[in-house]
């Protein structure tokens, strides 16, 4: 469904869907705390983890090194 890779800058991790998708920001905003909002990307905060969510499905996860947590969070975002 998606792949998780460490960023080249080592500042976080990227989560990329294996197929093209278009995320519904309205649905995501109802389920998460939004700290930044724009038409092409939003930033959410879940516990201490910050996630930049792009409209086309790519996620940039900051302040987390636990891939199991990232995987669970990505599944919730993509659901």
All structural domains of the chain: 2-78 (3.30.310)
> Under a CB-based contact definition with an 8 Å cutoff, are residues 22 and 56 in contact?
yes
3-state secondary structure the chain: CEEEEECCCCCCEEEEECCCCCCCHHHHHHHCEEEEECCCEEEEEECCEEEEEECCCCEEEECCCCHHHHHHHHHHHHC
- The pTM of this model reads 0.92
Listing from the earlier edge strand, what are the strands of the sheet with 59-62?
2-6, 13-17, 59-62, 49-54, 41-46, 33-37
Q: pLDDT tens string for the chain (79 positions)? A: 899 999 887 689 999 999 989 999 999 999 999 999 999 999 999 999 999 999 999 999 998 989 999 999 999 999 8
């Amino acid at each position: 469904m998606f792949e998780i890779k460490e960023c080249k800058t080592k500042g976080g991790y990227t989560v990329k869907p294996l197929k093209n998708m278009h995320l519904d920001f309205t649905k995501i905003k109802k389920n998460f705390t939004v700290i930044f909002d724009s038409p092409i990307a939003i930033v959410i905060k879940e516990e201490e983890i910050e996630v930049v969510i792009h409209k086309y499905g790519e996620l940039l996860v900051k302040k987390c090194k636990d891939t199991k947590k990232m995987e669970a969070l990505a599944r919730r975002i993509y659901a």
